[in-house]
Structure 1
């Protein structure tokens, strides 16, 4: 995986976790990562960041939680085996770690964080405009 090519995921040995935290509540405090669409509570992102996007440093810079996540998303899917799930592949989350993901976000990751993705050779795909 050290080919230097852009990828839409991080290798498992660079992720630090084999699965994402499951949201502790399913109320208004849920947020979705604008890059990978992982869903957790605000406090979970603040405490441990995004397991798919550690380079966004959400647990170190709490402003990044607000800037890199959104409470505005549609639907949730729980994925236990992303590589074997046709739904995960269809949603383009098949190479992320197991966890809860949103079906869609409508906001884009701010440009400065898109640049951080590019600096880390991680693909960012903005949401489709409908």
Structure 2
């Protein structure tokens, strides 16, 4: 069940409440995006606009859906199929500096 307070991480696609991102951070991306305690970072790097839901369970390694969405190996939870919006350019530059290639989850990235 989603509410207006639910948001999707623009990097991994996990769906959580705004409060959860602020208090606990992103379970997949916290070391990169540093959401915990930073409301402005949560607002910039998550989106309230997303499409589709996929439930990722404990055993995601063999899931073709998880591989297709690039979420295999992430923590179990609800993930958006498509996240509307993109990370700010300064964050993309930081990720590239860490040798992490950002692929937007808005449907524009091609494999």
So what's the TM-score if we normalise by structure 2? 0.85
For the aligned residues, what is the CA RMSD?
A: 1.8
Counterpart of 2:35? 58
Query: Which of 84, 88, 92 is 1:114 aligned to?
Result: 92
User: Structure 1 residue 122: deviation in Å?
Assistant: 2.6
Specify the alignment match of 1:101 in structure 2: 79
Contact 1:56–1:116 (Cα < 8 Å) also in 2: no
Partner of 1:77: 54
CA shift, 1:62, in A, is: 1.9
- Following superposition, the deviation at residue 95 of structure 1 comes to 2.7
Unpaired stretches in structure 2, ≥5 consecutive residues: none
Match of 1:26 in 2: 2
Residues paired across the two proteins, number: 106
Q: Tell me how far apart the structure 2 counterparts of residues 107 and 29 of structure 1 sit (CA, whole Å).
A: 16
- 8 A contact 2:7–2:47 mirrored in 1: yes
> Could you say which residue in structure 2 is the equivalent of 1:90?
68
